[in-house]
Structure 1
Amino acid sequence: MSPSREEAGYQVRMETRQWLVIDGTMDNEVITEAQDGDPRGVVDLGSSIRQAGWDQIPGWPRDVTGFLTWPTPGQMSTMVLEGSQWALVVSVLDEWAAVEESLDHADGAEEMRAIADLVRGQLTEQGWSAS
């Protein structure tokens, strides 16, 4: 039996530093949802996305000091996630970009939207749909 569209693995290639933005944003979302009682049911899914990054990106530091020199500038990573995971990634990036904008952090909002657009573009080429 072939996987459903939600279970299919979709690849996105990006700068590793961009994945760090996704990881941090997903961390914020998981913490917020857990504090709110997880009404949308995203704590497990969000945690699985973060774990995928830790598992798939080589050289992921195991302590805070490791991030002082990692990733190297321009380092690229290819992430493979299921459709439902990518849907949460782009949704959360859009939501937190609005938060950043409301706090007058235009650069952060712009970066999150650019990453969301990058992800959507590559996924669309693979037949992914957010619906």
Structure 2
Amino acid sequence: MGIADWIFIDGTMDNAIQSYRDECWDPDSGAEARAADARASALADLGESVSQAGRDQITEWPSGIGSAWELPEPGEPHKVTLNVAQWALVVSELEDSAVVDDQIGEPADAARVRRIAARIRQQLAKQGLVSVPSVRPNDQGR
């Protein structure tokens, strides 16, 4: 996977993490709301583990405030190893991001994000995982 692709994945994970953390602040204290908060918190934690894995495994990844401008060259390939649940969340969030990109009039970004998700699916299929499992309540095990 190239750095440019990982930048899209990392940004998508950042957005997802924030959305899931926002869901955890629901003031409703009913049992159903607490269960939803726990799911959102678990998904945020999973998203954070994806981002951290990228930072840990891409040794050239910048650290510290203001270092985002020091990213490695976009074409440099890097192998990032994640578990099945992490890859499932990545694919799901990328596919949702593509839908949003289409809705806001960014078809080039939508196409790119779909290509990244498709490449991940292909790599998982090569490893014997034909269907990416569902990690979110609204996913149907795509």
TM (norm. structure 2) is 0.77
What aligned pairs does 1:52-63 form with structure 2 within 5 A after superposition? 52-63=53-64
TM (norm. structure 1) is 0.83
Which residue is 1:36 aligned to?
Answer: 23
Structure 1, unaligned runs of 5 or more: 1-13
- Does the 8 Å CA contact 2:62/2:70 hold for their aligned counterparts? no
State the structure with bigger RCO (CA 8 A, min sep 6), 1 or 2: 1
Structure 2, unaligned runs of 5 or more: 25-36, 134-142
The offset of 1:64, in angstroms, is 4.9
Structure 2 letter corresponding to 1:82: N
- Does the 8 Å CA contact 2:98/2:111 hold for their aligned counterparts? yes
Identity of aligned residues (%): 39
Between Structure 1 and Structure 2, the one with more strand by share is: 1
CA distance, structure 2, for counterparts of residue 100 and residue 33 of structure 1: 19
Structure 2 letter corresponding to 1:62: S
For the pair 1:99 / 2:100, whether they are aligned, the reply is yes
The offset of 1:63, in angstroms, is 3.3
Structure 1 letter corresponding to 2:80: M
Which residue is 1:130 aligned to?
Answer: 132
Aligned positions, number: 118
Question: The residue matched to 2:120 in structure 1 has which SS?
Answer: helix
The offset of 1:107, in angstroms, is 1.2
Deviations 1:42-75 (A, max 9, x none): 1110000000000000111113543324221411
What aligned pairs does 1:105-120 form with structure 2 within 5 A after superposition? 105-120=106-121
Which residue is 1:3 aligned to?
Answer: none
Between Structure 1 and Structure 2, the one with more helix by share is: 2
CA distance, structure 2, for counterparts of residue 70 and residue 25 of structure 1: 17
Considering only CA atoms, is the larger Rg found in Structure 1 or Structure 2? 2
Misfit runs of 4+, over 4 Å: none
Structure 1 letter corresponding to 2:97: W
Structure 1 letter corresponding to 2:125: T
CA distance, structure 2, for counterparts of residue 30 and residue 67 of structure 1: 19
